Amino acid sequence: MLCISLFISSHSLACEPASLNWEQFHKTYDLNKNKTFELKEFLSVKDFDPLPWPDDKRFQAKDKNFKLFKYLDKNKDGKLADEELGEIHSLLPNPCANWPPR
């Protein structure tokens, strides 16, 4: 019983950061349903639910969507694959940074 309690206690202290809701993001913004995001589609992105828009100053101006798209489009093919879009996490603060290690 003690062993189970310790496992549950240690597991409950783990930090599990939120991740982009990929299914909803595709449903909302991938208008042509080709599993990538072109600039025209990306211009309407407001946030990365449940994640916020990055605080980085480079992506705060009026043309923030355009600049963020260009930053994320690593292969410069004019569209964002999920792998490229996933890099949004590198621009967000780590919510587990101050949590004790497991």
* Candidate from 4-8, 64-68, 93-97 with smallest mean pLDDT: 4-8
Is the bond preceding residue 50 a cis peptide, omega within 30 degrees? yes
What confidence score (pLDDT) does residue 20 get?
A: 86
pTM of the predicted protein model: 0.79
3-state secondary structure of 38: strand
* Mean pLDDT, residues 4-27 taken together: 71
> 49 Cβ partners below 8 Å, 6+ apart?
20, 21, 24, 25
* Residue where the block lists tokens 């990055």: 54
Per-residue model confidence as pLDDT tens digits over 24-46: 999 999 999 999 999 999 999 99
Q: Which domains does the chain have, with CATH numbers?
A: 21-91 (1.10.238.10)
User: What percent of the chain has a predicted confidence (pLDDT) above 70?
Assistant: 86
Count Cβ atoms below 10 Å from residue 85 Cβ, excluding itself: 22
